[in-house]
Amino acid sequence: MPTTLSQGPVNDRPVIGILTQLVSDEVMKPFGRTYIPSSYVKYIESGGSRVMPIRLALTGAEYENIFSKINGLLFIGGSADLETSEFARVAKIFYRLALTANDAGDFFPIWGTCMGLQLLTALVAGENLLANTSAENIALPLNLTTEANSSKMFEGFPDELMKALTQEPLTGNFHHFGVTVETFQENEKLKNFFSVLSTNVAENGAHFVSTIEGKKYPFYGVQWHPEVNRFQWDRKLNFPHSHHAVQLSSLLADFFVNEGRRSLHRFDDPEEEASSLIYNYTPVYAGNFTAYEQIYFF
C-alpha cells in the first residue's frame, strides 16, 4: 500500500556542538587549556551526527554565529563553578539563545550529562542548588517516575529495556554533587521547567534527581554517563557494558541526534563547515594518566 509521509523538514546532516571543559587536573594542564573526552564525541557520532568543539574564549557575537549553524548542544561532565566559570558563562549564552529560538519556533535541543545536568538546573533556577549526593564509581538502576512512561526521552524504548532500567545497574555514576529531590520539589522554577524522569539514592542516603526532561523546551539532563557504556573501558571503574547497558546508550544517542535533525540551522560555506568539525583535531591517548582512553585538547 502506498503511504504518505507527514513530517516537517528534516536535517540529515546535523552538527552537534560540544562545549569544551576547563582543564582542572594538574596532569592534564601540559596538553591544553580546555578538553573534550573522546567518548562524548563518539557518542554523538554514533547517533549519526558530526561534532563541532566550542571553545570558551570567544566573543558573544562569535557564539551567536556558531548557534546559527549547529543543530544542538551538549554540556559534558567535569569540574567547574556553575555560576562564575567560563564554562558556565558560555553555557548561559547558548541557553538564552536556545530559549529565544525555541520560543520563535526555531527548534534547538540541549543535553547535559553529569555536571551538564547540574548546569542546566543552575541556568533554569538562576542559582546553584547542589548538595552532597555522592555516587562515585557506582553503576545503578534507575528509580523511574510515572512521568518516565510519557517522556520523549524514553519513548519507543522496548518494554524489556524499561524493565531492565529499574532492575539492572545500567547507569554509571561518577559524581559528588547533585540536586536532591526535596530541593527540586521546593523550587518552583525547576518544577515548572523540568519533569523528573528518575531518581536515585546517594551513598549518604540523599535522594537525588538523576534524569530530567524539559516540559516545553527540548532540554534533557542525566546525572549519569550514557557515553561510558560503549566508549570507556578502564577496569578500575564501574562502566556498565552489558547488552542492556549498550542498548540504553545507543538509543539515547539516537534520540538526541534525532532531536538535532529537527533543527534547520546550517553552515552556508562548506569550507567553514569542514574547518569547524572535530575531524581537524587529533585525540591524545590519556589512559596512562586519566580514566579516559582518549581526550581532545584545545
Q: Which domains does the chain have, with CATH numbers?
A: 15-297 (3.40.50.880)
pLDDT at 206 over 60: yes
Residue numbers annotated as active site: 114, 225
Average pLDDT over every residue of 255-265: 98
Per-residue pLDDT tens over the stretch 32-43: 999 999 999 999
Q: How far apart are CA 89 and CA 142, in angstroms?
A: 31
Under the banding of pLDDT at 50, 70 and 90, the label for residue 5 is very low
Contact criterion met (CB below 8 Å) for 124 and 193: yes
pLDDT tens column, 118-167: 999 999 999 999 999 999 999 999 999 999 999 999 999 999 999 999 99
b/e sequence 201-218, b meaning 16+ C-beta within 10 Å? ebeeebbbbbbbbbeebb
